[in-house]
Structure 1
Amino acid sequence: MRVFTLAAAATLLITSGSALAQSKQDFRLTNKTGYTIDKVYVAPSKSNDWEEDVLGRDTLANGEWVDITFPKKNQVCSYDLKVVYDDNTPVEWYNFDLCEISKISIFYSKSEDKTWAKYE
């Protein structure tokens, strides 16, 4: 399993493998689309900026997952998520309550040309 040690937006960290729970907003993002995800952005819902790609130079292949962690002092719960596939196709979701959600899985149906997220 790869280990990512990148800091993005000065407060968002991403790691793969076993992660230490740092805040209630931490979540696992799993790619079940059948395609490679080139970029992942996580930003507070009230923000007008996606800020930095939390994957940096890495990608998230189909079947892989990453744990996205936040510092303990973070109090924001509502976040938006944007992924960009390796063909530059973006998909966005809004208002995930990361204080209640610990896992987000992304899916894609080629026959329906539809991408969706399931969370728990």
Structure 2
Amino acid sequence: MQFRLWTAVGAVVVSSLVLAGAANAENRKVKIINETSSDLDQFYASNVGSADWEEDILGDDQVPAGGSVTINMDDGSGYCKFDFKGVFVDDSEATVEGIDVCEVGVVRFTE
């Protein structure tokens, strides 16, 4: 089984991805960018207080190679830190833990 690399981009990027101020602390939207050669078939996210993966956020949709999707990670729990899992059409997987979605605006899948 192949594994893919995640790159979290947020506070280190000097751009509009970095949000300032208390009002923006509640913004939990994350742009997922698929920079691989394989379509992203399933995407799971669970706050760090959860012991299980939630449902596949993409449902019947996919994020094509080179494509992106923006997801509102606000699950009503108040958590900012989430674990992510991506499953690709070639059966490879990528997981990352503890992404602060209140600070990080972009997560990239790379090969």
- Regarding TM over 0.5, the answer is yes
In structure 1, the partner of 2:89 is 86
SS of structure 2 residue aligned to 1:27: strand
Residue correspondences, number = 87
What is the root-mean-square deviation of aligned Cα atoms in Å? Answer: 1.9
Of structures 1 and 2, the one scoring higher in RCO (CA 8 A, sep 6+) is 2
Change (3 A) 1:73 1:91: closer
Q: Which runs of 5+ in 1 are unaligned?
A: 1-20, 109-120
In structure 2, the partner of 1:64 is 67
Which of 84, 89, 104 in structure 2 is aligned with 1:101? 104
- Following the alignment from structure 2 to structure 1, what is the Cα–Cα distance between the partners of residues 74 and 102? 13
1:31-72 Cα offsets, whole Å, 9 max, x none, are 001111100001112211111000000111111110001449
Q: Which runs of 5+ in 2 are unaligned?
A: 1-23
In structure 1, the partner of 2:43 is 40
Identity %: 28
**Code of the aligned partner of 1:82:** K
In structure 1, the partner of 2:10 is none
Q: From the two aligned structures, give the one with the greater strand fraction.
A: 1
